[in-house]
Amino acid sequence: MKISNLLIAIVLVGLFVTVLGSWIADLNSNYGSEIDETNLEIFNKLDSINTQTEQIQDKVDNLKEKTGALDILGGLLSDGYSALKITAQSFDLMDSIINAGVKYLKLPAIFKVAMSAIVLIIIFISIILSAILKDNNKL
């Protein structure tokens, strides 16, 4: 690919992004935006879970440097507890996302229960399938 073709492609992509961004901004100014504080709370929860996960990963990486068996066992137990806390927060996040979707679409409350059940069934089936496939060495 010639450098001139690359530069032309970059300019065209930049032009497309500018036109699309201007169009979206115009739509937002004409029709408004329905983002409220509950949506921002969901993103804050997601950011918090991500930060905690990165902290646990850093701790587990540092466990390799410790030499004592009790140090490693204690570190793994405390990090396992932290991982369980993150799992509980993830379910809370899933519930918040489903609540926001049901509220935004103005659906009956039964849809919240149905969506939660579907997600939990999919998680359960995926865990079972991964265990079965792992036993058969197909993974």
Q: Please enumerate in sequence order all residues whose Cβ is within 8 A of that of 86, keeping only pairs 6 or more positions apart, or say none.
A: 49, 52, 53, 56
Instruction: Tell me the C-alpha distance between 60 and 54, whole Å.
Output: 10
Quote the pLDDT of residue 63: 62
The token duo for 124 is: 């359960």
Own/partner long-range contacts of 34-40 (Cβ < 8 Å, ≥24 apart): 34/104, 38/96, 38/99, 38/100, 38/103, 39/100
Burial of 82 (C-beta count, 10 Å sphere; 0-12/13-18/19+): middle
Over range 87-101, report the average pLDDT: 83
Quote the pLDDT of residue 64. Answer: 62
Question: Tokens in use for 7?
Answer: 């530069």
Residues in the chain: 139
Residue 33 — pLDDT band, cuts 50, 70, 90? low
The pLDDT of residue 139 is above 50: no
What is the average pLDDT across 105-120?
Answer: 87
* Mean pLDDT lowest among 8-12, 33-37, 44-48, 54-58: 33-37
